[in-house]
Amino acid sequence: MDYSQEPHGMFLMIDNKSFYASVESVERGLNPLKSVLIVMSEADNTGSGLVLAASPMAKKLFGISNVSRQYEVPHDENILVVPPRMNLYIQKNLAINKIFREYVADADLFPYSIDESILDMTKSRRLFGKTPEAVARRIQLRIRTELGLYTTVGIGENPVQAKLALDLQAKHDHELIGRLTYENFPEAIWPITNLEKVWSIGHRTAAHLQRLGIHSMGDLAHVNPYELRQEMGMIGAQLFALAWGIDRSKFHQVRPPKEKSWSNSQVLPRDYKVQSEIELVLREIGQQTTSRMRHHRQQAGCISLYVGFAWDGQADDGRSGLHRTRRIDPTDNAQTIIRELVTLFRENWEGQPVRNIGVGLSRLSQSTNLQLNLFQNPQRQIKDDRFDRVIDELRDRFGKTAVIPASSLMKGGTMLRRASLVGGHNGGNSFD
DNA sequence: TCTGGGGTCCTAGGACCC
DNA sequence: TCTGGGGTCCTAGGACCC
């Protein structure tokens, strides 16, 4: 493989070790590496809590993993169980990225998720250390000293190498640093046989590769790339590049995509069988999603509805449900969007018990002035629109529970209970 | 596994147009 | 009309990530 045409930069992918659990430990004056602490979601719509994060010692001593269920967590007084405070984690994430900006220009910093960022240090590396590892240690120390948090760093010549170095090496390294280059890539990565561990290979793809006789990253690197592309489409071409540590797409894969849709979904506390109850939740979610979108001064040209059915006792792998999308005239009017959602639901639902409801808005565009629909009473439309905006404003100023539809107090409504959640989890304070 | 929640991207077939 | 070719839009569905 000739790497001379490939980009040779210096990228750091930095993540926070057990981020939520570490923040909670620091807040309590505990060392994040020594505390035995788990952050448990209190979202009670399913009745069973979810472990969002476990400290390294909680994982080691009690075998608790990040998405453990409540009932899997042993009862032990040595385990500190705390509720999530999403807003606090967002604040810490901002503080961390502020430190990163001292090492790279704004344009070379790419926050990837709440606990991961990519730094393109190709231009600035010489300023901060002799070797990439030295630069990484320096940044780690800064964050450790200022915020008390431990970070894990993957170093690569391109973003994908940095990501794999982070996931596959740094997390097991005693200095919490991993480094991949074009040169050491085969030695480091090809022996991997548990393909699911590799970023971008999920359960289904791993099984597909197994079926093709590909049992290791080395196997993947030595297939005929044209045949793989034939078999798996563009994914096949990407996987082949991945096996060689090549990142042709630059940031396209690793970079967090720009918001192109808004969606909300929830698991219901029980199976819903009554149409009016299902539609009530559907309206609430429609209202919520529309409200978020409008907050960003956008309107939607496409709506989608997801209705997941209750598990019927069949051992079917795939969960049954219906997913429908529909083009609409671009609008940011909640009543219009909700009407479309309900219509879509009624057209497709055949009475199955429902456990999961989701709403998506896409084909977004900047909403300018209200576009009047020719076929409806203009006064009514203007009034609807003004009403929506007033509600948004109240929610912005006084929180999401300031104004809720009276219908939400009815049986089946979940909005009130969920209003204080951030990302589906407890926000931890009243403003977000 | 008997249900967490919010996202994006890719593929394929049908409808429709010129 | 035993039958062209290229393109776009729409919808459904699959897969993956944090």
Measure A288 CA to B14 C1' (Å). Answer: 34
Residue A255 above 60 pLDDT? no
pLDDT digits (tens, 9 = 90+) for A121-165: 999 888 899 999 999 999 999 999 999 999 999 999 999 999 999
Residue A405 confidence class, pLDDT cut points 50, 70, 90: very low
Domain boundary among A60, A86, A112: A86
Q: Report how many domains make up chain A.
A: 3
Q: Strands A151-156 and A177-179: what pairing?
A: parallel
Kindly determine whether the C-beta of residue A175 is less than 7 Å away from any atom of nucleic acid strand B.
no
CA-closest candidate to residue A174, choices A209, A215, A212, A133: A133
Question: Which DSSP helix (H) or strand (E) runs through A113?
Answer: strand A109-113
Residue A423 above 60 pLDDT? no
Q: Which tops the pLDDT comparison, A137 or A372? A: A137
Sign of the alpha-carbon torsion through A62, A63, A64, A68 = negative
| Full strand arrangement of the beta sheet holding A80-82 | A50-54, A37-41, A80-82
Tell me the DSSP string of A367-381.
--S----TTS-HHHH
Of how many residues is chain A composed?
432
Residue A393 above 90 pLDDT? no
DSSP letter (8 states) at residue A69: B
Rounded distance between C-alpha atoms, residue A341 and residue A113, angstroms:
30
**Are A328 and A386 within one domain?**
yes
CA-closest candidate to residue A122, choices A176, A159, A80: A159
DSSP letter (8 states) at residue A256: P
Rounded distance between C-alpha atoms, residue A307 and residue A324, angstroms:
9
Kindly determine whether the C-beta of residue A84 is less than 7 Å away from any atom of nucleic acid strand B.
no
CB under 8 Å to A135, separation ≥6 — which residues?
A10, A12, A103, A121, A125, A128, A129
Residue A431 confidence class, pLDDT cut points 50, 70, 90: very low
CB A49 within 8 A of CB A40: yes
Nucleotides of B under 7 A from a protein CB: 1-12
Helix, strand, or coil (residue A118): strand
**Are A267 and A233 within one domain?**
no
Rounded distance between C-alpha atoms, residue A303 and residue A362, angstroms:
6
Residue A358 above 60 pLDDT? yes
| pLDDT given for residue A248 in this prediction | 64
Query: Domain for residue A209, yes or no?
Result: yes
- Candidate from A96-100, A252-256, A300-304 with smallest mean pLDDT: A252-256
**Are A227 and A360 within one domain?**
no
Q: Which nucleotide lies closest to A423 by the C1' atom and the CA atom?
A: B5
**Are A204 and A314 within one domain?**
no
Domain boundary among A180, A210, A243: A243
Query: Domain for residue A283, yes or no?
Result: yes
Q: Which nucleotide lies closest to A256 by the C1' atom and the CA atom?
A: B8
CATH code of A222's domain = 1.10.150.20
pLDDT digits (tens, 9 = 90+) for A32-57: 999 999 998 765 555 567 788 899 99
Query: Domain for residue A340, yes or no?
Result: yes
| pLDDT given for residue A375 in this prediction | 54
Q: What is the mean pLDDT of chain A?
A: 83
**Are A224 and A346 within one domain?**
no
Rounded distance between C-alpha atoms, residue A153 and residue A144, angstroms:
13
Q: Percent helix, strand and coil across chain A, each rounded to 5?
A: 40, 20, 40
Rounded distance between C-alpha atoms, residue A339 and residue A248, angstroms:
44
Nucleotides of C under 7 A from a protein CB: 9-18
**Are A389 and A331 within one domain?**
yes
| pLDDT given for residue A72 in this prediction | 75
Query: Domain for residue A34, yes or no?
Result: yes
By percentage, how much of chain A surpasses pLDDT 90? 48
Domain boundary among A67, A86, A105: A86
Task: Point out the residue nearest to C11 (C-alpha to C1').
Answer: A325
Residue A392 above 50 pLDDT? yes
Query: Domain for residue A26, yes or no?
Result: yes
Task: Point out the residue nearest to C9 (C-alpha to C1').
Answer: A327
Measure A289 CA to C6 C1' (Å). Answer: 39
CB A12 within 8 A of CB A135: yes
pLDDT digits (tens, 9 = 90+) for A194-222: 999 999 999 989 999 999 999 999 999 99
Task: Write out the residue range of the structural domain in which residue A214 sits.
Answer: 190-243
Helices (H) and strands (E) in chain A, counts: 15, 14
| pLDDT given for residue A218 in this prediction | 97
Rounded distance between C-alpha atoms, residue A249 and residue A236, angstroms:
14
Q: Which nucleotide lies closest to A236 by the C1' atom and the CA atom?
A: B10
Rounded distance between C-alpha atoms, residue A234 and residue A195, angstroms:
18
pLDDT digits (tens, 9 = 90+) for A65-99: 777 777 777 888 888 999 888 888 888 988 999 99
Q: Average pLDDT for residues A249-260, to the nearest whole number? A: 53
Kindly determine whether the C-beta of residue A178 is less than 7 Å away from any atom of nucleic acid strand B.
no
Residue A386 Cα to chain centre, angstroms? 33
- Hey, which bits of A66-164 come out as E strands? 80-82, 109-113, 116-120, 151-156
